[in-house]
Amino acid sequence: MLGALEYAKELGAVTGAISCNRNSRTFEIAKHRLFVNVGSEVVTGSTRMKSGTAQKLILNMISTASMIRLGKVYRNLMVDLKPVNHKLVLCSIRLIREVTGCSEEKAREAFESSACGSVKNPKAAIVMVLLGKTREEAPALLEKSGGHISAPVRKEAGAE
């Protein structure tokens, strides 16, 4: 672990460490340090129950925040998915319906027409339905907003 962290630092990568041990050697190497004080374990002699859970929760929070910042989430829904199988196609259609409030027929129509080549784009379909945009306009709006649905929706509503 320490060797990998040192190597990453040598390569110029931004490094970070999460530890429940205030004196962790990883903190000597990492640029970003996150100490999590979980206190003593309930079972004496067990060293990883609470700390493992705490670190997993922190990593979940970081990845969730990253997905939001990257525009993969709209409201509280993960909207940036690749519908590569039947289950994800159905999920995409449900997602379009939930975000836009449209009928299943309208959601399917937008989903099908959102295709760029053979790849369908649920985010573009959502923008198409919400803002009445074409298959060409919706991806351009998403690209201009860094992949975020909320920016073009706010702009259309006159909030910007």
CATH of residue 150's domain is 1.10.8.1080
64 and 131 part of one domain? no
Give pLDDT, residue 159: 54
Question: Domain range spanning residue 107?
Answer: 73-157
Give pLDDT, residue 41: 79
Q: Give 144's contacts (C-beta < 8 A, 6+ positions apart).
A: 151, 152
Query: Does residue 129 surpass a pLDDT of 80?
Result: yes
pLDDT band at 47 (very low <50, low <70, confident <90, very high): low
Give pLDDT, residue 48: 73
Measured in residues, the chain has a length of 160
**Which of 27, 45, 69 corresponds to the end of one domain?**
69
The domain total for the chain is 2
How far is Cα 116 from Cα 84, in angstroms, rounded to an integer? 14
Does residue 78 sit in helix, strand or coil?
strand
89 and 137 part of one domain? yes
**Which of 34, 69, 104 corresponds to the end of one domain?**
69
79 and 51 part of one domain? no
Q: Give 67's contacts (C-beta < 8 A, 6+ positions apart).
A: 73, 78, 80
**Which of 24-28, 38-42, 139-143, 155-159 shows the lowest mean pLDDT across its residues?**
155-159
DSSP output for 3-53: HHHHHHHHTT---EEEES-TT-THHHH-SEEEE----S-SSTT--SHHHHH
65 and 134 part of one domain? no
